[in-house]
Amino acid sequence: MKRIKLISAVLVSALLLTSCNGLKAYLGIEQIVTDETSVDETAESEQPISTSANETYTPEAAPGESSPETAPSEPQPSVPDSLRAAAYASYLGLIEQQKDEIVLYTWMSSESGVVSDDASWMESVRDVPCALVDLTGDGLDELMVLKVHRDEESNNVIAAVMNIYTYDPAEDAPVSIFEATDLDVRGSRTGNVCYLFAKLNDGSLMMYGCYNDDGTWEDSIYIYSFDGEALTLSSSISSVEETNLDYTEITYNYYIDAAQVSEEDFNARQSEILSSVRTLLQYNFVIYEPIYSAFYSKNSNAMTYDHAYEVLSAASASHYAPLPDDQAAGLFALIQDDYLMPGGTDGRGAILVVNPDGTINYNYHDSDINTYNICHATGRLGNVRLIRDNVYAVEVVELNLEYAEGTEWVETDESGVQTTYYATDSFGIHQGDILMFYQGGVSTTSLPLTYLHWYMEPRGITVESQVPDPMPVDGFFNVLDECAFIEEEYD
């Protein structure tokens, strides 16, 4: 019997699309490739931020920002699209190289030996090790990355390290302009207990940290400014609480730029700094006043590894030269013939057929009793770019819906049963979208977890480590809609 390949789009959850759309709205992802506004400035000045299913903040009251009076819009230097795409391509390569260390970052992870009875708040802060933000003032985002640090002898995770990278056009590579070490040391109640990073109105970087060591509790805020080569310390304030051995005496001392000051002067300077926060970036759990009040419930532009991968993939595709027509046609020829691409569960599914000339046929359906939601479309793929071995970026250059979204009609069969049809939008594919095409043979460990879950769900795989490496099948991944069309094989 002929071996038949099928690529399917299984609808894992309706929440997948709503969460992705919220991400795109927050990051302003549609603007990344087409305009010259950095991610954090777009999020701050233009897009509403959705923090829950029932609550959306307008830009005037967006979490993570100061009020309009204290957070004026910053003029953005003009950055060529080619430069931005090159920078994002370099960042993409970096996080791929460091994936093992990045995805293992989890604050208060079980691997560090720390256990908490209350895990509810951890879910929102534990897996967001990446962020994009302009800290050099050139209009081009820097990449913030949190990753684990291991003990050289035991190989146990003992801390986290924060690096901030900017793009060096001369070297066509990311370069580190900031590093913060020994974050997350909790097991012995020594070292850094809490930390937080934010961008201030003047573009500088704020780092908050609190430390507990042998009866001394120190809360400090550090301000770093870009000097043309690196983010260097420009100011600091500290509040130091000390207790004697039997805890009968407590003394408080306050410092501004290492000089001892009064509590009033310290509080005034701290209030000044906190009121000038423009964007909340990275953080773990901060419970101490007044940091708690300043940042509680505010959103952050921190991203999971997968979200960073998706943003950087989509934004950097134009950096790579399109394949010649004959090579693109060769790729499409490999895809067609054996790709029927049906799929779906629970009455839902999407079918994407790719023809050797790059044209596509798309069908989507979901159904209820006597009601069908459908979408039929034709279009064309193009601008095929080789990102790395076995990984291509393919643009949906054309997509035409057979029925306009919202069209409704009723059909009656021979038995007189009436069925209502509703025309929907195309799930998982739209004109202008970037599809990543992963050929079988690509390293599974380099792929985003969201894509792997699309492979795992219909196959009953529950643990990522059970996915074969290298990847045994081909597949498309829409990096914006987080939808995958993955090959299924039947003999």
Residues recorded for the chain: 491
pLDDT at 164 (0 to 100):
98
Torsions phi, psi for 452 (to 5 deg): -60, -35
pLDDT at 347 (0 to 100):
60
Q: In whole angstroms, what is the distance from residue 42 CA to residue 58 CA? A: 13
**Burial grade of 72 (CB within 10 A; 0-12, 13-18, 19 or more):** exposed
Q: In whole angstroms, what is the distance from residue 80 CA to residue 83 CA? A: 5
313: nearest Cα among 31, 47, 473, 85: 85
How many C-beta neighbours within 10 Å does residue 70 have?
12
Q: In whole angstroms, what is the distance from residue 438 CA to residue 451 CA? A: 10
Q: Residue 72 carries which DSSP code? A: P
**Burial grade of 123 (CB within 10 A; 0-12, 13-18, 19 or more):** exposed
Q: In whole angstroms, what is the distance from residue 164 CA to residue 10 CA? A: 37
Query: Which residues in 228-323 belong to E strands, given as ranges?
Result: 231-243, 250-256, 259-261, 277-283
**Is 323:381 a contact under the CB 8 Å cutoff?**
no
Torsions phi, psi for 467 (to 5 deg): -75, 130
| Strand-by-strand arrangement of the 231-243 sheet | 259-261, 250-256, 231-243, 216-226, 205-213, 192-200, 277-283
Q: Which of 28-38 are b and which e, b meaning 16 or more Cβ less than 10 Å from the residue's Cβ? A: bbebbbeebbb
Q: What is the enclosing helix (H) or strand (E) of 328?
A: helix 325-335
460: left (phi over 0), alpha (psi -120 to 50) or beta: left
User: What sign does the dihedral 87-197-279-203 (CA atoms) show?
Assistant: negative
| Residue 445: both structure tokens together | 């460990």
- CA distances, 280 to each of 294, 323, 330 (Å): 10, 40, 47
Query: Per-residue pLDDT for the chain (491 aa), expressed as one digit of tens each?
Result: 333 344 444 333 222 333 333 333 333 333 333 334 455 554 443 332 222 222 222 222 233 333 333 333 445 578 898 999 999 999 999 999 998 888 888 664 433 333 334 444 344 445 788 999 999 999 999 999 998 887 788 877 777 899 999 999 999 999 999 999 878 644 433 445 678 899 999 999 999 988 777 778 889 999 999 999 999 999 999 999 988 777 778 899 999 999 999 999 999 999 999 999 998 898 876 667 888 888 876 777 888 888 888 889 888 988 998 999 999 989 988 886 444 444 444 567 788 888 888 999 998 888 777 678 999 999 999 999 998 889 999 999 999 999 999 999 999 988 888 889 999 988 889 999 989 999 989 988 888 888 888 888 888 898 888 999 999 988 899 877 888 888 876 54
Q: In whole angstroms, what is the distance from residue 89 CA to residue 396 CA? A: 20
Q: In whole angstroms, what is the distance from residue 138 CA to residue 153 CA? A: 42
Which residues are 487's β-sheet partners? 7
The DSSP line for 392-424 is EEEEEEEEEESS-TT-EEEEE-TT--EEEEEE-
How many C-beta neighbours within 10 Å does residue 264 have?
9
- What is the number of helices (H) and of strands (E) in the chain? 10, 23
The DSSP line for 90-142 is HHHHHHHHTHHHHHT--TT-GGGT---S--TTGGGTTT--EEEE--SSSSS-E
Torsions phi, psi for 409 (to 5 deg): -150, 165
pLDDT at 490 (0 to 100):
54
pLDDT at 71 (0 to 100):
37
